[in-house]
Structures are given as C-alpha cells and as structure tokens.
Amino acid sequence: MSTPTIYEPLDPTAEIFTQVPQPRLSTRRSVLREVIETALLVAAIYAFVNLATARFVVDGHSMLPNFDTDQFIIVSRLSYIIGEPRRGDVVVFHYPLQSDRDFIKRVIGLPGETVTILEGRVYINGKLLDEPYIQNFCRGKSCDGEWTVGPDQVFVLGDNRNASKDSQDFGPVDRKYIVGRAFFRYWPPEDWGLIQHWTYDDNGAPMPTYTPTSPPTPTPEGTLTPTPWGPF
C-alpha cells in the first residue's frame, strides 16, 4: 500500500497539498429553503403566542376605576396551565350561562371558602376583606348574601360593585370557564403597561354579629299596676 506523498511548501504560509480530498464549505443556500424555514419559524412563534395568550377588548364599566371601555388587554393562558387562580387576580372567563360571551372580573373567593357579603362588604370565612380599590361597595342592588365556593370554582366580583353582573348574580364560576389572567394593557397608549393584581393580608376584622333583643313582656289586658297612692 503506497503512502500519500506530501509536498513540503517552500513558503511556510503557502497552502499544503496532499492526495487526500479536502472538504469544501459553501456559503450559498437555496433561496427557497430560506423562505420555507422562515415561514415555519413564524408559524411556530404565532402558534405558541396564540396558545399562551389571548387578546380582548374591555366593553362596559363593571371594572371601573381600574379598567374602562375600549381598553385592549392581553390575557395569559399559561398562568393557569402551570398554576391556580389567586385572590385578587383579574381574570377573563366565559359567561357560564352564555359561553360565547366573555367577562372580566376579580377573583375574591377560592375553593372551599365561604363568601359573605354584608351591607356591601365582603367577608371570607368570617373575616373582612380589605378592598381599598372599591369606590362604591353597594348601591342600587342587593348587598347581602352568602355563598360556598366549590372545590373547582372561584367567586368573582366586579370592581364597580354597583354596576357589575358577577357571582352575586350567577354564583361561583367553574374553573373550566376561565380563559386566563389579565397580563398586559396595550391600548390606549397612555394606559400601556403591566396589569397590577391585588394582594391581601389575613388580618381582616371579624364579621359583626347581631344579638336579637328580647321584646318587652306585655301586660295582660284588663289589669292595672297599682301606684303607692292606690289606683285612679
């Protein structure tokens, strides 16, 4: 078996030639291949964005003063794929009684909790929920009630309590109806930014209790109570 001949270059910077084929690199690529790869990448990104998020336009005043009509928001679906709703989250969900309608509300009650509304104020398991973002707690509608949230449900209320159709009307919402957590507001430009969600402490005041007073014992008819001076 013959050994390949190597020619030593006289110039150290000169190219070395051997009988072994040398690989070649080409920077030219097919234009069609570039177009196809770019289109596939765009399609993959678009599919992921639509899987992870949804876009909605606020219509109505039930979340004033925190959300107003004609604001455009992005909702994160991933938040509840990898986690669970928390109290204070602003969520978008399909209206349970008409699934082609979507509502935006705030999560107030969580699974297993008892939600009591007394004179417009919310109590969770007997403790007052501090809600400084509410302007009018009750006006023009029933302000009292009590609900038990099921194991796979949440209790939702609008921030504008006197103009909101929410769990006070249709009860707790099943988890399956929730689209996602409101994430970003992108229109109008002056409202652009991340959406803030409220957090609460556990130091709420206890729910007031009312002790009924005993009615006075009636005096039998036809009798008189004597005075020190005798009956008159």
pLDDT 10s digits, 89-115: 999 999 999 989 999 999 999 999 999
167 is catalytic: no
Q: Other C-beta atoms within 10 Å of 77: how many? A: 17
Domain boundaries, given as residue ranges, for the chain: 54-194
Within 13 Å and on the Cβ side, how many CA atoms surround 150? Answer: 9
For the domain 54-194, what is the CATH code?
A: 2.10.109.10
**Residue for token pair 């209320």:** 157
Angle at the Cα of 51 from the Cα atoms of 193 and 171, rounded to 5 degrees: 75
141 is catalytic: no
Choosing from 26, 30, 79, 105, the catalytic residue is 105
Choosing from 62, 76, 79, 164, the catalytic residue is 62
pLDDT 10s digits, 149-204: 999 999 999 999 988 999 999 999 999 999 999 999 999 999 999 998 988 877 66
